[in-house]
Amino acid sequence: MGMETGSVAGKLPLEEDVRPSFWTKLVYGSGDWSLASFGTLRQVFYAIFLTDAVGWTPVWLRLQHWWV
């Protein structure tokens, strides 16, 4: 009548200790690394471009003069 312990919908038996290995965790964890690192590097180099080539003052320097 009800679901059995250790089964999904009473059809598939599950093992007691099913944990992914270290390498499986590493592969899943690094799945978005390429896009995230590209976005971060683009922002860093854009900030360097804005301060060096364009000549903008960083915000933290403006705030430093504001409360002094």
Domain containing 42: what range? 33-68
19 part of a folded domain = no
Task: Give the per-residue pLDDT at 58.
Answer: 83
25 part of a folded domain = no
User: What is the C-alpha separation between 36 and 32, in angstroms, rounded?
Assistant: 6
57 part of a folded domain = yes
Task: Kindly tell me the burial class for residue 20, based on how many C-beta atoms sit within 10 Å of its own C-beta (0-12, 13-18, 19 or more).
Answer: exposed
59 part of a folded domain = yes
45 part of a folded domain = yes
Q: Domain tally for the chain?
A: 1
Q: Pick the closest to residue 56 from 46, 41, 43, 66 (CA basis).
A: 46
Task: Give the per-residue pLDDT at 22.
Answer: 94
Task: Give the per-residue pLDDT at 5.
Answer: 56
Task: Give the per-residue pLDDT at 68.
Answer: 55
62 part of a folded domain = yes
Whole-model pTM: value is 0.47
pLDDT, block means (10 residues), the chain with 68 residues: 54 72 89 83 94 88 66
